Amino acid sequence: MDQSASSPASIGLDAVSKSYDGRVRAVDAVSLDVKPGEFFSLLGPSGCGKTTTLRMIAGFETVDTGRIRVGDRDVTDVPVHKRDMGMVFQSYALFPHRTVAENVAFGLRMRKVPKAEIEERVRAALALVALTGFEDRRPGQLSGGQQQRVALARAIVIRPPVLLCDEPLGALDRKLRQQMQFELKQLQKELGVTLVFVTHDQEEALAMSDRIAVMNAGRIEQIGTPTEIYDRPRTRFVADFIGEINLIERPGGKALAVRPEKIVLGAPGAVLDGTIDSASFLGGQTLYRVALSDGRQMLVKETNAGERPVRSVGDKVGLAWAAADGVELEA
């Protein structure tokens, strides 16, 4: 594959902090290590510092404290244009006064690549994102998904060891988004490039990433594989932010977390007893809201398959789960 990256690089952030004009820290002592060739996501709610973190890696923002490393090179003080990273902006940031081919060729021209090679690499990059034949269009004449792919081609054609994407799929509709998620993941594997991907969409992060860093208010709450993050959340924030969860308060500020689909409904007399408050049919599953005797509510998801009793609102039920499915959260 002639578009393959020079060779994927690791990325290391060592206690990186940043505050804007002396106010609260947008990014607070963030440390993380991205392995070469890894699909790494920064996930968190709006304003938690994902973009700021990515922009510091790219070099658009200076760090207040901490170091940033790419491979074994400390890039903390290296200016943007010498960092050699591909970047895909949420808004695509395509040059409106240049054609698709000129956009893609830009990074190569800056690197003084010979003309013939530029033409060849631009052609190959556009073929890779299925945009052959669009060379002479202007960005304004493309659909959102096509623009997104030009932005991607422009970033990967320089064969960067590291690709940074800030919510690149945010502006696409649901169907196109899912298709592009698949294509981006595929492309990342083919190129073998290290990819840092910013998103606030937990489903997107779970579906695409090798590992995820969940951020909250400028800090990293947890780093792990999608399964770890989903099945073994460490903090309340992570448990709550990813999917649906039942929290059972424990003395000392601790809590036990159980996913709704891990709970088995049975006859009363189980771990917890309650009454079905409401039932919502979700297609493949039914979501029950169960009121416990002490007034608390629990969510239970039951798969609509095989033999199972018909449940209706007001039924008395017992709730049980395997000990391994209950996760002790840190305070």
Ligand X SMILES: Nc1ncnc2c1ncn2[C@@H]1O[C@H](COP(=O)(O)OP(=O)(O)OP(=O)(O)O)[C@@H](O)[C@H]1O
CB 60 to Mg ion: min, Å: 12
The residue (of 200 and 234) whose beta carbon lies closer to ligand X is 200
State how far the Cα of 66 lies from the Cα of 313, in Å rounded to an integer: 56
The residue (of 104 and 229) whose beta carbon lies closer to ligand X is 229
CB 3 to ligand X: min, Å: 29
State how far the Cα of 235 lies from the Cα of 116, in Å rounded to an integer: 54
Sheet of strand 162-166, all strands in order from the earlier edge strand to the far edge: 85-88, 162-166, 194-199, 39-43, 211-216, 219-224
The residue (of 129 and 214) whose beta carbon lies closer to ligand X is 214
Residues 182 to 201: which contact ligand X by CB under 6 A?
A: 200
CB 138 to another protein: min, Å: 6
Asked whether position 57 contacts ligand X by CB under 6 A, the answer is no
CB within 8 Å of 315: residues ≥ 6 apart: 275, 276
Asked whether position 222 contacts ligand X by CB under 6 A, the answer is no
CB 316 to Mg ion: min, Å: 47
Sheet of strand 297-303, all strands in order from the earlier edge strand to the far edge: 264-266, 316-320, 272-281, 285-292, 297-303
Strand-pair partners of 251: none
* Owner of token pair 């969860």: 245
Asked whether position 105 contacts another protein by CB under 8 A, the answer is yes
CB 131 to another protein: min, Å: 10
The residue (of 29 and 270) whose beta carbon lies closer to ligand X is 29
Give the chain's radius of gyration (CA, Å). 24
The residue (of 51 and 222) whose beta carbon lies closer to Mg ion is 51
Burial class from Cβ neighbours inside 10 Å (0-12, 13-18, 19+) for residue 170 reads middle
Among 109, 189, 308, 316, binds another protein (CB under 8 A): 109
25 membership: H or E segment, kind and range: strand 25-34
Sign of CA dihedral 89, 91, 95, 98: positive
The answer to whether the CB of 279 falls within 8 A of the CB of 303 is: no
State how far the Cα of 103 lies from the Cα of 158, in Å rounded to an integer: 12
> Total residues contacting another protein (rule CB under 8 A)?
42
CB 58 to ligand X: min, Å: 12
CB within 8 Å of 278: residues ≥ 6 apart: 288, 289, 313
CB 317 to another protein: min, Å: 53
Residues 13 to 52: which contact ligand X by CB under 6 A?
A: 20, 26, 44, 46-52
Question: Which is nearest to 217 in space by CA: 67, 65, 17?
Answer: 17
User: How many other CB atoms are found less than 10 A from the CB of residue 251?
Assistant: 5
From 107-115, 206-214, 241-249, 306-314, give the range in contact with another protein by CB under 8 A. 107-115
CB 182 to another protein: min, Å: 19
Residues 83 to 102: which contact another protein by CB under 8 A?
A: 83-87, 89, 91, 93-99, 101-102
Residue 101 site contact among another protein, ligand X, Mg ion, none (CB < 5 to 8 Å, cut-off depends on kind): another protein
Asked whether position 268 contacts ligand X by CB under 6 A, the answer is no
Among 37, 49, 107, 226, binds another protein (CB under 8 A): 107
Q: What are phi and psi of 255, to 5 degrees?
A: -150, 155
Binding site for ligand X (CB under 6 A): 20, 26, 44, 46-52, 200
Binding site for another protein (CB under 8 A): 58-60, 79-87, 89, 91, 93-99, 101-102, 105-111, 115, 118-119, 122, 138, 140-143, 146, 154, 158
